[in-house]
Structure 1
Amino acid sequence: MLLIFFSIILFGLSLAGDRYAHCPNLSGVYQSNHDSTLCYTFNRTLATFEEAEDHCKDMGGHLASVPDIFANVYLAGQIGTNNFWIGAYQVQPQSSQVWAWKWYDSVIKYSDWDKGQPEQNYQCASLDGATASWQSQPCSSKKPFVCQLPTVLDVCDSGWTYYPANYPGPSCYKLFNKNNTFFSDGETLCVQNGGHLTSMYYYSSSEMNFIRKLVVSPPQTLANTGVWTGYSYPNGYTDGTYSGGINWYNNQPSSNYPYGVYIPDGTTDYPSYAGYLLAVNSTTSFSRYLCKKPATSYPYIMKKLFKLEKSN
Protein backbone atom coordinates (compact mmCIF):
# COMPACT_ATOMS: atom_id res chain seq x y z
CA MET A 1 0.00 0.00 0.00
CA LEU A 2 2.84 2.38 0.89
CA LEU A 3 4.57 1.57 -2.41
CA ILE A 4 1.38 2.44 -4.31
CA PHE A 5 1.15 5.75 -2.43
CA PHE A 6 4.76 6.67 -3.26
CA SER A 7 4.23 5.61 -6.89
CA ILE A 8 1.27 7.97 -7.19
CA ILE A 9 3.27 10.83 -5.66
CA LEU A 10 6.25 10.12 -7.92
CA PHE A 11 4.03 10.12 -11.00
CA GLY A 12 2.67 13.50 -9.97
CA LEU A 13 6.16 14.87 -9.41
CA SER A 14 7.32 13.56 -12.79
CA LEU A 15 4.69 15.80 -14.40
CA ALA A 16 5.58 18.80 -12.27
CA GLY A 17 7.02 22.07 -13.44
CA ASP A 18 9.24 24.31 -11.30
CA ARG A 19 10.47 22.92 -7.96
CA TYR A 20 12.51 24.45 -5.16
CA ALA A 21 13.98 23.00 -1.94
CA HIS A 22 14.20 25.14 1.19
CA CYS A 23 14.21 24.92 4.96
CA PRO A 24 10.88 24.88 6.82
CA ASN A 25 9.44 28.36 7.37
CA LEU A 26 10.16 28.35 11.10
CA SER A 27 11.95 30.95 13.18
CA GLY A 28 15.65 30.29 13.80
CA VAL A 29 16.09 27.56 11.17
CA TYR A 30 19.26 27.70 9.05
CA GLN A 31 20.23 25.74 5.95
CA SER A 32 23.48 23.81 6.29
CA ASN A 33 26.41 25.11 4.27
CA HIS A 34 27.83 21.59 3.90
CA ASP A 35 24.64 19.79 2.80
CA SER A 36 21.79 21.71 1.17
CA THR A 37 19.32 18.96 2.10
CA LEU A 38 19.76 19.61 5.83
CA CYS A 39 18.49 22.37 8.07
CA TYR A 40 19.45 23.05 11.68
CA THR A 41 18.06 25.00 14.59
CA PHE A 42 20.21 25.80 17.62
CA ASN A 43 18.13 25.90 20.79
CA ARG A 44 19.77 27.42 23.86
CA THR A 45 17.00 26.32 26.22
CA LEU A 46 18.41 23.82 28.73
CA ALA A 47 16.84 20.36 28.40
CA THR A 48 17.57 16.72 29.13
CA PHE A 49 18.43 14.52 26.15
CA GLU A 50 14.90 13.11 26.03
CA GLU A 51 13.29 16.56 26.35
CA ALA A 52 15.52 17.89 23.58
CA GLU A 53 14.66 14.99 21.25
CA ASP A 54 10.94 15.48 21.93
CA HIS A 55 11.27 19.18 21.08
CA CYS A 56 13.03 18.33 17.81
CA LYS A 57 10.31 15.80 16.95
CA ASP A 58 7.67 18.45 17.55
CA MET A 59 9.42 20.54 14.87
CA GLY A 60 9.43 17.61 12.44
CA GLY A 61 13.03 16.49 12.98
CA HIS A 62 15.42 14.91 15.48
CA LEU A 63 18.51 15.80 17.45
CA ALA A 64 21.27 16.34 14.91
CA SER A 65 23.26 13.43 13.54
CA VAL A 66 26.85 14.06 12.43
CA PRO A 67 27.65 11.97 9.33
CA ASP A 68 31.13 13.32 8.55
CA ILE A 69 33.88 15.74 9.52
CA PHE A 70 32.34 18.54 7.46
CA ALA A 71 29.11 18.42 9.44
CA ASN A 72 31.08 18.19 12.68
CA VAL A 73 33.13 21.29 11.91
CA TYR A 74 30.04 23.20 10.75
CA LEU A 75 28.05 22.44 13.91
CA ALA A 76 30.98 23.15 16.22
CA GLY A 77 31.48 26.50 14.51
CA GLN A 78 27.86 27.44 15.10
CA ILE A 79 27.73 26.67 18.83
CA GLY A 80 30.92 28.50 19.83
CA THR A 81 32.42 27.32 23.12
CA ASN A 82 29.17 25.76 24.36
CA ASN A 83 28.33 22.10 24.85
CA PHE A 84 25.18 21.00 22.97
CA TRP A 85 23.25 17.77 22.80
CA ILE A 86 23.56 15.93 19.48
CA GLY A 87 21.56 12.84 18.52
CA ALA A 88 23.99 10.03 19.42
CA TYR A 89 22.94 7.67 22.20
CA GLN A 90 24.00 4.27 23.52
CA VAL A 91 21.87 1.13 23.20
CA GLN A 92 22.34 -2.54 24.01
CA PRO A 93 21.21 -4.81 21.15
CA GLN A 94 19.18 -7.83 22.28
CA SER A 95 21.63 -10.22 20.62
CA SER A 96 24.75 -8.73 22.20
CA GLN A 97 26.19 -7.86 25.59
CA VAL A 98 28.11 -4.98 24.01
CA TRP A 99 26.57 -1.52 24.10
CA ALA A 100 26.64 0.41 20.83
CA TRP A 101 26.24 4.06 19.87
CA LYS A 102 23.74 5.02 17.19
CA TRP A 103 21.69 7.81 15.68
CA TYR A 104 17.89 7.74 15.69
CA ASP A 105 17.84 6.12 12.22
CA SER A 106 21.27 4.56 11.67
CA VAL A 107 24.47 3.27 13.21
CA ILE A 108 27.36 5.67 13.77
CA LYS A 109 29.99 5.42 11.05
CA TYR A 110 31.85 8.68 11.73
CA SER A 111 32.75 9.81 15.24
CA ASP A 112 35.02 12.36 16.92
CA TRP A 113 35.15 11.35 20.58
CA ASP A 114 37.26 13.39 22.96
CA LYS A 115 40.24 11.73 24.62
CA GLY A 116 39.06 9.09 27.11
CA GLN A 117 35.55 9.15 25.63
CA PRO A 118 32.98 7.73 25.49
CA GLU A 119 32.42 6.68 29.08
CA GLN A 120 30.53 3.40 29.36
CA ASN A 121 28.22 4.61 32.13
CA TYR A 122 26.86 7.61 30.22
CA GLN A 123 24.45 6.91 27.37
CA CYS A 124 23.95 10.28 25.62
CA ALA A 125 26.37 12.38 23.55
CA SER A 126 27.10 16.09 23.33
CA LEU A 127 29.28 18.16 21.02
CA ASP A 128 31.79 20.54 22.58
CA GLY A 129 32.13 23.63 20.43
CA ALA A 130 35.55 24.61 21.79
CA THR A 131 37.22 21.34 20.74
CA ALA A 132 34.76 20.07 18.08
CA SER A 133 34.83 16.73 19.92
CA TRP A 134 32.13 14.50 21.39
CA GLN A 135 31.58 13.63 25.01
CA SER A 136 29.30 11.06 26.64
CA GLN A 137 27.04 12.62 29.27
CA PRO A 138 24.32 11.56 31.73
CA CYS A 139 21.09 11.74 29.72
CA SER A 140 19.46 13.60 32.61
CA SER A 141 21.90 16.53 32.28
CA LYS A 142 20.33 19.73 31.01
CA LYS A 143 22.00 21.28 27.96
CA PRO A 144 21.21 23.37 24.90
CA PHE A 145 20.72 21.26 21.78
CA VAL A 146 20.85 21.11 17.99
CA CYS A 147 17.82 19.93 15.99
CA GLN A 148 18.16 18.63 12.45
CA LEU A 149 15.19 19.18 10.12
CA PRO A 150 14.57 17.96 6.57
CA THR A 151 14.22 20.42 3.75
CA VAL A 152 10.84 20.97 2.13
CA LEU A 153 10.34 20.58 -1.62
CA ASP A 154 7.92 23.08 -3.19
CA VAL A 155 6.49 21.96 -6.52
CA CYS A 156 4.47 23.73 -9.22
CA ASP A 157 2.34 22.10 -11.89
CA SER A 158 3.79 21.83 -15.38
CA GLY A 159 3.64 25.19 -17.14
CA TRP A 160 3.54 27.18 -13.90
CA THR A 161 6.43 29.32 -12.64
CA TYR A 162 7.62 29.18 -9.03
CA TYR A 163 8.33 32.14 -6.77
CA PRO A 164 9.52 31.69 -3.13
CA ALA A 165 7.40 34.45 -1.61
CA ASN A 166 7.62 35.04 2.13
CA TYR A 167 4.05 36.37 2.04
CA PRO A 168 1.63 34.71 1.63
CA GLY A 169 4.04 31.82 0.99
CA PRO A 170 5.72 29.97 -1.92
CA SER A 171 3.50 30.37 -4.96
CA CYS A 172 3.05 29.29 -8.58
CA TYR A 173 2.11 31.66 -11.41
CA LYS A 174 0.81 31.17 -14.92
CA LEU A 175 -0.03 33.79 -17.53
CA PHE A 176 -2.99 32.96 -19.77
CA ASN A 177 -4.00 34.57 -23.06
CA LYS A 178 -7.66 34.74 -24.07
CA ASN A 179 -9.22 37.54 -26.06
CA ASN A 180 -12.01 39.61 -24.54
CA THR A 181 -11.61 38.31 -21.00
CA PHE A 182 -13.57 40.15 -18.33
CA PHE A 183 -12.59 40.18 -14.65
CA SER A 184 -15.17 37.55 -13.68
CA ASP A 185 -14.06 35.30 -16.56
CA GLY A 186 -10.42 35.46 -15.49
CA GLU A 187 -11.22 34.74 -11.85
CA THR A 188 -13.41 31.78 -12.79
CA LEU A 189 -10.69 30.30 -15.01
CA CYS A 190 -8.05 30.76 -12.28
CA VAL A 191 -10.29 29.06 -9.71
CA GLN A 192 -10.76 26.16 -12.13
CA ASN A 193 -6.95 25.86 -12.18
CA GLY A 194 -6.73 25.77 -8.39
CA GLY A 195 -5.94 29.42 -7.69
CA HIS A 196 -7.15 32.99 -8.09
CA LEU A 197 -6.31 35.99 -10.18
CA THR A 198 -2.97 37.14 -8.85
CA SER A 199 -2.42 39.29 -5.81
CA MET A 200 0.58 41.64 -5.90
CA TYR A 201 2.53 42.41 -2.74
CA TYR A 202 3.95 45.84 -3.55
CA TYR A 203 6.11 45.95 -0.41
CA SER A 204 8.33 43.23 -1.93
CA SER A 205 10.42 44.74 -4.73
CA SER A 206 11.79 41.32 -5.69
CA GLU A 207 8.29 39.89 -6.12
CA MET A 208 7.21 42.87 -8.18
CA ASN A 209 10.28 42.48 -10.40
CA PHE A 210 9.43 38.80 -10.83
CA ILE A 211 5.87 39.63 -11.94
CA ARG A 212 7.07 42.48 -14.14
CA LYS A 213 9.37 40.11 -16.07
CA LEU A 214 6.75 37.36 -16.20
CA VAL A 215 4.09 39.52 -17.84
CA VAL A 216 6.19 41.80 -20.04
CA SER A 217 4.28 42.50 -23.24
CA PRO A 218 5.14 40.18 -26.13
CA PRO A 219 6.86 41.59 -29.22
CA GLN A 220 3.81 40.86 -31.37
CA THR A 221 0.91 43.27 -31.20
CA LEU A 222 -1.90 42.20 -28.87
CA ALA A 223 -4.93 44.34 -28.26
CA ASN A 224 -5.30 45.37 -24.65
CA THR A 225 -2.13 43.79 -23.25
CA GLY A 226 -2.95 44.78 -19.68
CA VAL A 227 -3.06 41.84 -17.29
CA TRP A 228 -5.99 41.11 -14.99
CA THR A 229 -5.13 40.91 -11.29
CA GLY A 230 -7.40 39.76 -8.49
CA TYR A 231 -8.12 43.21 -7.07
CA SER A 232 -11.83 43.93 -6.68
CA TYR A 233 -13.16 47.00 -4.84
CA PRO A 234 -14.04 47.17 -1.96
CA ASN A 235 -12.96 43.70 -0.78
CA GLY A 236 -9.41 43.69 -2.15
CA TYR A 237 -7.72 40.65 -3.64
CA THR A 238 -9.85 37.60 -4.32
CA ASP A 239 -7.29 35.32 -2.63
CA GLY A 240 -7.77 37.22 0.64
CA THR A 241 -4.21 38.54 0.95
CA TYR A 242 -3.20 42.05 2.02
CA SER A 243 -3.98 44.71 -0.58
CA GLY A 244 -2.28 47.78 0.92
CA GLY A 245 0.42 49.83 -0.77
CA ILE A 246 -0.79 49.26 -4.33
CA ASN A 247 0.76 51.57 -6.90
CA TRP A 248 -2.37 52.91 -8.61
CA TYR A 249 -2.20 55.09 -11.70
CA ASN A 250 -3.99 58.35 -10.89
CA ASN A 251 -7.46 57.28 -9.78
CA GLN A 252 -8.00 54.91 -6.87
CA PRO A 253 -10.57 52.14 -7.42
CA SER A 254 -14.20 52.92 -6.70
CA SER A 255 -17.63 51.41 -7.15
CA ASN A 256 -17.57 52.67 -10.76
CA TYR A 257 -14.02 51.41 -11.43
CA PRO A 258 -13.65 48.43 -9.10
CA TYR A 259 -11.09 46.18 -10.80
CA GLY A 260 -7.31 46.33 -10.95
CA VAL A 261 -5.40 45.68 -14.18
CA TYR A 262 -1.60 45.56 -14.20
CA ILE A 263 0.01 47.40 -17.08
CA PRO A 264 3.25 45.62 -18.09
CA ASP A 265 6.43 46.99 -19.58
CA GLY A 266 6.37 47.29 -23.36
CA THR A 267 2.64 47.78 -23.75
CA THR A 268 1.54 49.85 -26.71
CA ASP A 269 -1.91 50.58 -25.27
CA TYR A 270 -0.91 52.47 -22.12
CA PRO A 271 2.85 53.09 -22.32
CA SER A 272 2.87 55.74 -19.59
CA TYR A 273 1.01 53.41 -17.21
CA ALA A 274 3.68 50.66 -17.19
CA GLY A 275 4.27 49.26 -13.69
CA TYR A 276 1.00 50.61 -12.30
CA LEU A 277 -2.39 49.13 -11.54
CA LEU A 278 -5.16 50.74 -13.53
CA ALA A 279 -8.70 50.87 -12.09
CA VAL A 280 -11.24 49.83 -14.73
CA ASN A 281 -14.99 49.18 -14.91
CA SER A 282 -16.89 45.92 -15.32
CA THR A 283 -17.37 46.33 -19.07
CA THR A 284 -13.63 46.45 -19.81
CA SER A 285 -11.99 43.35 -21.27
CA PHE A 286 -8.33 42.40 -21.66
CA SER A 287 -6.49 39.62 -23.45
CA ARG A 288 -4.37 38.33 -20.58
CA TYR A 289 -4.80 37.28 -16.98
CA LEU A 290 -2.31 36.06 -14.39
CA CYS A 291 -3.28 33.18 -12.10
CA LYS A 292 -1.57 32.45 -8.80
CA LYS A 293 -1.86 29.48 -6.43
CA PRO A 294 0.12 28.06 -3.50
CA ALA A 295 2.99 25.73 -4.33
CA THR A 296 2.53 22.12 -3.20
CA SER A 297 5.03 21.25 -0.46
CA TYR A 298 6.53 17.81 0.09
CA PRO A 299 8.90 16.66 2.84
CA TYR A 300 12.49 15.87 1.90
CA ILE A 301 11.79 12.12 1.56
CA MET A 302 9.75 12.93 -1.54
CA LYS A 303 12.69 14.92 -2.91
CA LYS A 304 14.93 11.87 -2.55
CA LEU A 305 12.31 9.64 -4.19
CA PHE A 306 11.97 12.13 -7.04
CA LYS A 307 15.75 12.04 -7.60
CA LEU A 308 15.62 8.24 -7.61
CA GLU A 309 12.78 8.23 -10.13
CA LYS A 310 14.62 10.67 -12.41
CA SER A 311 17.78 8.53 -12.36
CA ASN A 312 15.98 5.35 -13.50
Structure 2
Amino acid sequence: MKYIQLQLIFLSLEILYLGGQRVNLQIKCRKFGYEMQTLRSATKCLSWNRDNVTFTEAKEHCEANGGFLATFKTEDEVALATTSKIWHFWVGLDDMQSQGMYRWHDDGTIAQNVKDIFKFQDMTRRPISADCASFMPSFSSHILTFCDTKAGFVCEIRAAS
Protein backbone atom coordinates (compact mmCIF):
# COMPACT_ATOMS: atom_id res chain seq x y z
CA MET A 1 0.00 0.00 0.00
CA LYS A 2 2.81 2.43 0.88
CA TYR A 3 4.45 1.65 -2.45
CA ILE A 4 1.29 2.65 -4.33
CA GLN A 5 0.97 5.83 -2.24
CA LEU A 6 4.57 6.75 -3.02
CA GLN A 7 3.96 6.15 -6.72
CA LEU A 8 0.89 8.41 -6.64
CA ILE A 9 2.83 11.15 -4.83
CA PHE A 10 5.66 10.88 -7.37
CA LEU A 11 3.19 11.01 -10.26
CA SER A 12 1.51 14.09 -8.77
CA LEU A 13 4.87 15.86 -8.36
CA GLU A 14 5.86 14.93 -11.91
CA ILE A 15 2.60 16.32 -13.33
CA LEU A 16 3.05 19.51 -11.30
CA TYR A 17 6.65 19.87 -12.52
CA LEU A 18 5.79 19.24 -16.17
CA GLY A 19 2.81 21.59 -15.92
CA GLY A 20 5.15 24.33 -14.67
CA GLN A 21 7.59 23.65 -17.51
CA ARG A 22 4.73 23.91 -19.99
CA VAL A 23 3.64 27.30 -18.64
CA ASN A 24 7.25 28.57 -18.73
CA LEU A 25 7.62 27.38 -22.32
CA GLN A 26 4.36 29.04 -23.32
CA ILE A 27 5.53 32.33 -21.78
CA LYS A 28 8.87 32.05 -23.57
CA CYS A 29 7.20 31.31 -26.91
CA ARG A 30 4.92 34.34 -26.61
CA LYS A 31 7.80 36.59 -25.51
CA PHE A 32 9.54 35.95 -28.83
CA GLY A 33 6.34 36.10 -30.91
CA TYR A 34 6.05 32.34 -31.37
CA GLU A 35 3.23 29.94 -30.52
CA MET A 36 3.61 26.83 -28.43
CA GLN A 37 2.38 23.89 -30.52
CA THR A 38 1.82 20.46 -28.99
CA LEU A 39 0.78 17.12 -30.44
CA ARG A 40 1.33 13.92 -28.47
CA SER A 41 5.00 14.00 -27.34
CA ALA A 42 5.99 16.87 -29.67
CA THR A 43 6.05 20.37 -28.17
CA LYS A 44 7.67 23.23 -30.08
CA CYS A 45 7.76 27.03 -30.20
CA LEU A 46 6.83 27.77 -33.82
CA SER A 47 6.05 30.73 -36.05
CA TRP A 48 4.15 29.84 -39.23
CA ASN A 49 4.69 32.19 -42.18
CA ARG A 50 2.67 32.10 -45.40
CA ASP A 51 4.97 34.49 -47.33
CA ASN A 52 6.36 32.70 -50.38
CA VAL A 53 10.14 33.09 -50.26
CA THR A 54 13.23 31.11 -51.24
CA PHE A 55 14.95 28.76 -48.81
CA THR A 56 17.74 31.26 -48.12
CA GLU A 57 15.27 34.09 -47.50
CA ALA A 58 13.29 31.89 -45.10
CA LYS A 59 16.46 30.84 -43.24
CA GLU A 60 17.61 34.46 -42.93
CA HIS A 61 14.18 35.57 -41.68
CA CYS A 62 14.16 32.93 -38.95
CA GLU A 63 17.72 33.72 -37.85
CA ALA A 64 17.01 37.48 -37.79
CA ASN A 65 14.17 36.74 -35.36
CA GLY A 66 16.21 34.58 -32.98
CA GLY A 67 15.27 31.19 -34.39
CA PHE A 68 16.00 28.71 -37.15
CA LEU A 69 13.98 26.93 -39.82
CA ALA A 70 11.89 24.40 -37.91
CA THR A 71 12.80 20.74 -37.85
CA PHE A 72 10.35 17.85 -37.75
CA LYS A 73 12.32 14.68 -37.02
CA THR A 74 10.21 12.32 -34.93
CA GLU A 75 6.94 10.69 -35.88
CA ASP A 76 5.06 13.00 -33.49
CA GLU A 77 6.84 16.10 -34.84
CA VAL A 78 5.92 15.09 -38.40
CA ALA A 79 2.32 14.63 -37.23
CA LEU A 80 2.49 18.14 -35.75
CA ALA A 81 3.73 19.50 -39.10
CA THR A 82 0.78 17.90 -40.91
CA THR A 83 -1.61 20.12 -38.93
CA SER A 84 -0.33 23.16 -40.83
CA LYS A 85 -2.72 25.18 -42.98
CA ILE A 86 0.25 26.04 -45.24
CA TRP A 87 0.26 23.51 -48.09
CA HIS A 88 4.04 23.63 -48.71
CA PHE A 89 6.73 25.13 -46.47
CA TRP A 90 10.50 25.24 -45.94
CA VAL A 91 12.03 23.31 -43.04
CA GLY A 92 15.52 23.24 -41.55
CA LEU A 93 17.19 20.46 -43.52
CA ASP A 94 19.58 20.71 -46.48
CA ASP A 95 22.68 19.18 -48.06
CA MET A 96 24.35 22.42 -49.16
CA GLN A 97 27.56 21.80 -47.17
CA SER A 98 28.16 18.31 -48.50
CA GLN A 99 26.22 16.70 -51.36
CA GLY A 100 24.00 13.88 -50.14
CA MET A 101 24.59 14.58 -46.42
CA TYR A 102 21.46 16.25 -45.08
CA ARG A 103 22.10 18.42 -42.03
CA TRP A 104 19.41 19.47 -39.52
CA HIS A 105 19.43 23.20 -38.73
CA ASP A 106 18.51 22.89 -35.04
CA ASP A 107 21.60 20.97 -33.93
CA GLY A 108 23.75 20.48 -37.04
CA THR A 109 23.49 16.69 -36.97
CA ILE A 110 23.47 14.64 -40.15
CA ALA A 111 20.11 12.98 -40.90
CA GLN A 112 20.59 9.22 -40.72
CA ASN A 113 17.25 7.98 -42.07
CA VAL A 114 17.08 9.85 -45.39
CA LYS A 115 14.84 7.25 -47.09
CA ASP A 116 12.30 7.60 -44.26
CA ILE A 117 12.50 11.40 -44.25
CA PHE A 118 11.91 11.71 -48.00
CA LYS A 119 9.55 8.73 -48.13
CA PHE A 120 7.68 9.84 -51.26
CA GLN A 121 10.78 10.41 -53.39
CA ASP A 122 13.16 7.99 -55.05
CA MET A 123 16.49 9.23 -53.66
CA THR A 124 18.44 7.48 -56.42
CA ARG A 125 16.70 9.63 -59.05
CA ARG A 126 16.59 12.99 -57.31
CA PRO A 127 17.97 16.04 -59.11
CA ILE A 128 21.46 16.76 -57.74
CA SER A 129 20.72 20.47 -57.43
CA ALA A 130 17.64 19.93 -55.23
CA ASP A 131 19.52 20.67 -52.00
CA CYS A 132 16.77 21.99 -49.72
CA ALA A 133 13.96 20.32 -47.83
CA SER A 134 10.38 21.44 -47.65
CA PHE A 135 7.37 19.76 -46.10
CA MET A 136 4.01 18.95 -47.65
CA PRO A 137 1.32 18.18 -45.06
CA SER A 138 -0.85 16.42 -47.64
CA PHE A 139 1.94 13.81 -48.07
CA SER A 140 3.03 13.88 -44.39
CA SER A 141 6.54 13.99 -45.78
CA HIS A 142 9.62 16.07 -46.34
CA ILE A 143 10.23 16.80 -50.02
CA LEU A 144 13.51 17.62 -51.76
CA THR A 145 13.06 20.98 -53.42
CA PHE A 146 15.14 23.38 -55.49
CA CYS A 147 16.31 26.09 -53.08
CA ASP A 148 15.15 28.96 -55.30
CA THR A 149 11.55 27.70 -55.27
CA LYS A 150 9.17 29.97 -53.37
CA ALA A 151 7.28 28.50 -50.42
CA GLY A 152 5.99 29.38 -46.97
CA PHE A 153 8.17 28.58 -43.98
CA VAL A 154 8.15 27.74 -40.29
CA CYS A 155 10.58 29.20 -37.75
CA GLU A 156 11.37 27.60 -34.41
CA ILE A 157 13.11 28.70 -31.23
CA ARG A 158 14.75 26.28 -28.83
CA ALA A 159 12.60 25.26 -25.92
CA ALA A 160 15.60 25.21 -23.56
CA SER A 161 17.31 28.48 -24.53
TM-score normalised by length of structure 1 = 0.38
Cα distance in 1 for residues equivalent to 2:72 and 2:154? 11
Cα distance in 1 for residues equivalent to 2:62 and 2:134? 15
Cα distance in 2 for residues equivalent to 1:41 and 1:92? 26
Aligned equivalent of 2:103: 102
Shift in Å at residue 32 of structure 1?
3.0
Query: In terms of Rg, which structure is larger?
Result: 1
Aligned equivalent of 1:120: 128
* Aligned partner (choices 51, 57, 60) of residue 45 of structure 1: 51
Distance 1:79 1:119, change over 3 A: farther
Aligned equivalent of 1:139: 147
Consecutive unaligned residues of structure 1, counting only runs of 5 or more, are 1-17, 152-299, 302-312
Aligned equivalent of 2:90: 85
Deviations for 1:140-191, whole angstroms, at most 9, x for unmatched residues? 111100111123xxxxxxxxxxxxxxxxxxxxxxxxxxxxxxxxxxxxxxxx
Q: Is the 8 A contact 1:32 1:40 kept in 2?
A: no
Aligned equivalent of 1:21: 25
Identity percentage over the alignment?
22
Shift in Å at residue 28 of structure 1?
5.4
Count residues with an aligned counterpart.
130
RMSD, aligned α-carbons: 2.3
Cα distance in 2 for residues equivalent to 1:75 and 1:120? 26
Structure with the bigger percentage of helix = 2
Shift in Å at residue 27 of structure 1?
4.2
TM-score normalised by length of structure 2 = 0.70
Asked which structure has the greater RCO (Cα within 8 Å, sep 6+), the reply is 2
Cα distance in 2 for residues equivalent to 1:21 and 1:66? 18
Shift in Å at residue 41 of structure 1?
1.1
Shift in Å at residue 116 of structure 1?
2.1
Structure with the bigger percentage of strand = 1
Q: Is the 8 A contact 2:36 2:45 kept in 1?
A: yes
Q: Is the 8 A contact 2:131 2:146 kept in 1?
A: yes
Shift in Å at residue 88 of structure 1?
0.8
